[in-house]
Structure 1
Amino acid sequence: MTQIASPSSALVRKIALIVSHVLSPIILATLLLLLTPLRDASIAWSEAVLAAVFTTIIPWLILALAKRRGAVTDMHVTVRRQRHLIYAMTATMIIIGLIILWLVNASAGIFREVFCILLGLFTVAIINIWWKVSVHLAVGTYVILQVASQRADLLPAVLLFIAVLSWSRLRSFQHTATQVCGGVAVGILIHYAHEVMALFVN
């Protein structure tokens, strides 16, 4: 017998999907890049905008075009086999952005931020060959750790953010708990890669 979802469970899923959209990787990564001058005074606003344009905004436009043409089923690219081309195009745009930042002699801080996003993209792309990891949690965890970096008092907020985002992906039935945990692990790994880079690249 086919089970019919109750109105309450349908409402919960709808709320979870809204949270997933609001806290999508594109939105979080764009805000992270655009607001980097508030966290690092050495980064100019023009550099932040340039980084965002090539790292997230143009890739989002490419994704929107792919969605319109039917190359992907949704803007979150939940079908794993559809992700490879999107990852490749996004990586290409980020590399072009890094080259332009180098040509305009941008600060080391924005280079680190963009390079770590590229590193995260490569990491999830490699994992994606065999397994579907949560990009939402990879990006979300990285972003919140970057924002709260060196602020132990913000640890409760970090944990709450990760918990809410994890809940949204689980209750919208987009990921399993293991895939969510995998995304969190990737986000933590890339955050610490950024911290190590900061020790050597200034």
Structure 2
Amino acid sequence: MPSRLPAADHAAGVAWGVVGALFAAVIPTLFINSGIRHGHWGDRHVGARTARLVVMAFILASITAGTALMAALGAPRTMTALVVAMFTTLAGLTAVTFTWKISVHAAVASGSIALLTLTYGPWPLAAYPLVALVSWSRTALRDHTPAQVASGALLGAVLARVTFAAVR
């Protein structure tokens, strides 16, 4: 049974969400877009292994900075656990990327549902077909093999769930 989250002021919750999103998504997206404009990588999917590792290292640093800021400013433990789970998942994906192109998209989709089930119970599992859709799209675009998306989905769910449960 999932534990109930402490009630939080709506505005404060939104603000902490914005801080987390800034360091985990906005800053990394700006970095990727800058790399595309400067010709460092061809598109936002960053398919080449060396470039992919550079982007992943940057995102890990950004998430680390965001986590430190959130901890220093007293963010709710659940929000900090979410960002730490993002870090751990990306660190695991980065380690695999040194030898194999695992699907980050499938990992994020699957990890998100895993975190939602820890927080709200089993009903978010109904959204798992979206993970299958993301995985299908990555193979249909010929960006990944079925093994790469299946491994990404599994690793994302396991790392996100274990980390979030341990930290929150």
TM norm structure 2: 0.87
In structure 2, how many angstroms separate the alpha carbons of the residues matched to 1:41 and 1:171? Answer: 42
What are the superposed Cα offsets for residues 61-117 of structure 1, whole Å, 9 maximum, x if unpaired? 011001111111110112222111111111111111111111211110111000010
Counting only pairs closer than 5 Å after superposition, residues 34-183 of structure 1 correspond to structure 2 as: 41-42=7-8, 44-149=13-118, 150-158=120-128, 160-183=129-152
CA shift in 2, pair 1:104/1:153, >3 Å: closer
Decide whether aligned partners of structure 1 residues 78 and 41 sit closer, same or farther in structure 2, where only a CA change above 3 A counts: farther
Which ranges in structure 1 are unaligned for 5 or more consecutive residues?
A: 1-38
* Percent of paired sites with the same residue: 26
Would the aligned equivalents of 1:144 and 1:161 in 2 still touch at CA under 8 Å? no
Structure 1 Cα separation of the partners of residues 84 and 164 of structure 2? 12
Q: Deviations over 1:117-169 (max 9, x none)?
A: 010111011000011100110111111222344533443431x1121111111
The count of corresponding residues between Structure 1 and Structure 2 is: 160
RMSD of Structure 2 on Structure 1 (CA)? 1.8
TM-score if structure 1 supplies the norm length?
Answer: 0.73
Once residues 87 and 68 of structure 1 are traced to their aligned partners in structure 2, the CA distance between those partners, rounded to angstroms, is 18
Q: What is the distance in 1 between the residues matched to 2:161 and 2:64?
A: 21
Shift of 1:50: 0.9
SS of equivalent residue, structure 1 residue 130: coil
User: Which structure 2 residue ranges, 5 or more long, are not aligned?
Assistant: none
Q: 1:156 to 1:97 in 2, by over 3 A?
A: closer
Structure label with greater radius of gyration: 1
